């Protein structure tokens, strides 16, 4: 089968219709699937998502372009179905439809759902938040379970770890807001949800097992994960509750970004793709699955029907759930042509939809590197954002060496790369070093961050690399890191709890002695709640840190000078001060209406500098406070801190 001519198949059988999957037409239901090389396809209908309750199995009719079709003269809303494919007159194992948009418990069977019956009250009346410029976004990465599973979340136990936890108003831990209240208070514009599409490794039928996963083990791309719903056995329950989450966030001016994982499937030979059309949807070399994802396989986005599948899936999430953007896991495994076509199709739906991803892979792909969406090919897909690992490592030190120091912890060599990050990783006439960090087509392409779900949290990294410093000193380092990420050109990205020093403690194995590194969990993808759950009492304990992040976000949102979307604007409106002390970074932002001076001081000692001529005010000190008094002349930037001054009109 692996010797199939895929180019010929694409040319002969590509189908451009938008009706694959299930279509309910009042008193009849139509099923369509694509399998051009199959010798027969059967549909199996069930009463439930699991169990021995088959209603009937029927052969489907073969149409042009490799389509298989059947029309049932009844409304099948509430029924479940699978397909059985035959190749060379040999039946493969029964499988869920890859185009299934709803499913039963654990995603073994597709569910026929009339989506009109799943809309919450006022669903059509709620407007999506505006985001005309990607740099206007402040993204906050959240895992559905992490945000509310701990009792300190203040959420009713029946909703903890569920979609509905983010719909509960006025949740608190002591005197501080949690969950939705926290998001509103912090001032972020978008929540990026770790995968909420149906994934494989959590048993939805037994939620009492307290299983955990990030969700990068995709099973059904168009179905929602049932463990986040209050009733995984009811396909409509997860749909309705996720819509409630989206609606509630939209009501509060917060957009919803989905983390999508089209680059690989959790199962390989047993995946729905392989059982539908063996070898077509994955890449191979010498008859074996290639492993560019590091997870056992990689999908073949360059094949027309796989490309169409990804685009159809994204369009479905936007149209049905009003999603505001997508973050692509291991985006470099997708070919550049597909990535650009996705952006084209999203633009047709809504040009304000955000789209960004990881510009790297998890292993070696057989596809030519110059055809893949690697970060170093960024100019070929400049409308799509990429995670800025250069600014990440320059701020806190190398991610994969826990002891490595960055700019905030005293690494002098990090300053040149950091300056590239400050300008949004676009060319700038004042910068001539760290050319490898000058990769962005426009500032909108640079997703600036120093912490995400992967690897150690920023706080844990500082506890390892700056272990000999006091906690108060490390807090200053954390706050300076936040100032750099939030006040640099590009798109700022934060992880849930970063603003109150989130930590991920590791459970030591029996007999294991603690050391600097192993007391923290660096890769918590399947660690228990002990490690991953957000403990909201830390917000109360480190409220000064939260308040500082909040002030920085408000400052960024107060002026377009912190959110320049074009490289020519950065070139004209941002200027570094030339000082002998290269580690003390000062830059100006200016246009005909406003002027700011921003200083980043990584030294333990205070640094002084002279403000330009005129009257200024301190709009953000080392604690995030502003002072409405006239200032001029020589001013101070305290040790390991940021200060921002604004010229008074």
- Residues belonging to the active site: 329, 358
DSSP code of residue 576:
E
Backbone angles phi, psi at 428, to 5 degrees: -145, 135
- Look at residues 220, 228, 361, 357 and name the one whose alpha carbon lies nearest to residue 297: 361
Structure tokens at 322: 């009003």
- Give the span between the Cα atoms of 211 and 201, in whole angstroms: 8
**Radius of gyration for the alpha carbons in the chain, expressed in angstroms and rounded:** 26
* Sequence-ordered strand ranges (E) for 11-92: 21-25, 28-34, 40-46, 54-59, 61-62, 67-72, 80-87, 90-91
User: ∠ at Cα 165 (161, 170), nearest 5°?
Assistant: 140
Q: Which residues contact 542 (CB under 8 A, 6 or more apart)?
A: 475, 500, 501
Say how many Å lie between the first and final Cα of the chain, rounded. 72
- Look at residues 544, 555, 561 and name the one whose alpha carbon lies nearest to residue 620: 555
- Give the span between the Cα atoms of 273 and 280, in whole angstroms: 8
Token match 């650009």: residue? 340
Residue-wise DSSP of 58-78: EEPEE-GGGEEEEEESS--TT
Under the phi-then-psi rule, with left for phi > 0, alpha for psi from -120 to 50, and beta for the rest, what region is 78? left
* H-assigned helices in 374-414: 389-396
- Give the span between the Cα atoms of 483 and 495, in whole angstroms: 15
Structure tokens at 374: 């690697």
Q: Which residues contact 15 (CB under 8 A, 6 or more apart)?
A: 34, 65, 66, 67, 305, 308
- Look at residues 62, 42, 46 and name the one whose alpha carbon lies nearest to residue 54: 46
Structure tokens at 478: 């954390």
Alpha-carbon separation of residue 149 from 19, 171, 386, 596 (angstroms): 39, 13, 30, 42
377-390: b (≥16 Cβ within 10 Å) or e: bbebbebbbbbbbb
Indicate the pairing of strand 218-224 with strand 197-199.
Answer: antiparallel
């Amino acid at each position: 089968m692996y010797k199939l001519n895929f180019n010929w198949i694409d040319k002969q059988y590509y189908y451009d219709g938008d009706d694959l999957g299930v279509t309910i037409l009042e008193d009849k239901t139509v099923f369509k699937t694509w399998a051009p090389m199959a010798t027969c396809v059967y549909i199996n209908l069930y009463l439930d998502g699991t169990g021995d309750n088959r209603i009937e199995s029927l052969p489907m009719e073969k149409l042009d372009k490799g389509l298989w079709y059947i029309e049932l003269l009844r409304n099948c809303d509430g029924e479940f179905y699978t397909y059985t494919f035959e190749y060379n007159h040999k039946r493969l194992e029964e499988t869920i439809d890859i185009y299934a948009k709803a499913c039963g418990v654990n995603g073994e069977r597709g569910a026929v759902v009339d989506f009109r019956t799943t809309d919450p009250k006022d669903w059509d009346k709620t407007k999506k938040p505006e985001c005309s410029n990607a740099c206007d976004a402040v993204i906050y990465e959240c895992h559905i379970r992490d945000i509310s599973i701990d009792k300190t979340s203040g959420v009713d136990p029946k909703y903890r770890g569920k979609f509905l936890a983010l719909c509960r108003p006025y949740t608190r831990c002591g005197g501080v807001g949690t969950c939705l209240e926290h998001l509103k208070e912090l001032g972020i514009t978008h929540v990026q949800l770790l995968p909420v599409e149906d994934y494989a490794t959590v048993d939805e039928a037994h939620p009492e097992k307290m299983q955990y996963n990030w969700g990068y083990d995709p099973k059904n791309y168009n179905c929602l994960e049932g463990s986040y719903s209050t009733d995984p056995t009811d396909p409509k329950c997860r749909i309705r509750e996720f819509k409630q989450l989206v609606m509630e966030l939209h009501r509060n001016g917060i957009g919803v970004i989905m983390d999508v994982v089209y680059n690989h499937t959790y199962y390989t030979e047993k995946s729905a793709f392989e059982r539908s059309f063996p070898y077509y949807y994955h890449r191979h070399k010498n008859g074996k699955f290639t492993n560019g994802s590091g997870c056992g396989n990689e999908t073949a986005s360059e094949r027309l029907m796989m490309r169409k599948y990804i685009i159809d899936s994204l369009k479905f999430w936007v149209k049905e759930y009003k999603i505001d953007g997508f973050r692509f896991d291991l985006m470099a495994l997708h070919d550049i042509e597909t990535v650009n076509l996705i952006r084209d199709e999203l633009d047709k739906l809504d040009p304000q939809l955000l789209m960004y991803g990881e510009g790297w892979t998890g292993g070696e792909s057989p596809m030519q590197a110059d055809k893949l969406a690697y970060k170093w090919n960024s100019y070929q897909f400049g409308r799509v954002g990429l995670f800025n690992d250069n600014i990440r490592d320059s701020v806190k030190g190398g991610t994969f060496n826990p002891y490595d120091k960055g700019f905030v912890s005293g690494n002098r060599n990090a300053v040149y790369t950091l300056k590239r990050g400050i300008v949004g990783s676009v060319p700038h006439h004042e910068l001539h070093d760290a050319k490898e960090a000058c990769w962005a087509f426009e500032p909108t392409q640079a997703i600036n961050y120093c912490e995400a779900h992967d690897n150690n949290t920023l706080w844990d990294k500082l506890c390892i690399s700056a272990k000999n410093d006091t906690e108060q000193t490390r807090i200053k380092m954390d706050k300076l890191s936040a100032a750099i990420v939030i006040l640099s050109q590009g798109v700022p990205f934060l992880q849930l709890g970063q603003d109150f020093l989130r930590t991920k403690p590791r459970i030591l194995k029996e007999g294991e002695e603690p050391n600097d590194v192993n007391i923290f969990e660096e890769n918590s993808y399947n660690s228990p709640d002990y490690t991953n759950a957000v403990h909201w009492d830390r917000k109360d304990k480190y409220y000064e840190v939260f308040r500082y992040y909040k002030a920085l976000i408000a400052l960024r949102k107060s002026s377009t000078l912190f959110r320049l979307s074009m490289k020519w604007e950065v070139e004209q409106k941002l200027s570094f001060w030339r000082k002998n002390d290269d580690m003390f970074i000062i830059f100006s932002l200016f246009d005909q209406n406003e002027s700011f001076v921003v200083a980043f001081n990584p030294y333990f000692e205070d640094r002084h500098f002279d403000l330009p001529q005129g009257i200024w005010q301190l709009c953000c000190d080392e604690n995030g406070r502003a002072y409405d008094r006239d200032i001029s002349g020589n001013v101070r930037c305290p040790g390991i801190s940021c200060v921002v001054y604004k010229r008074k009109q």
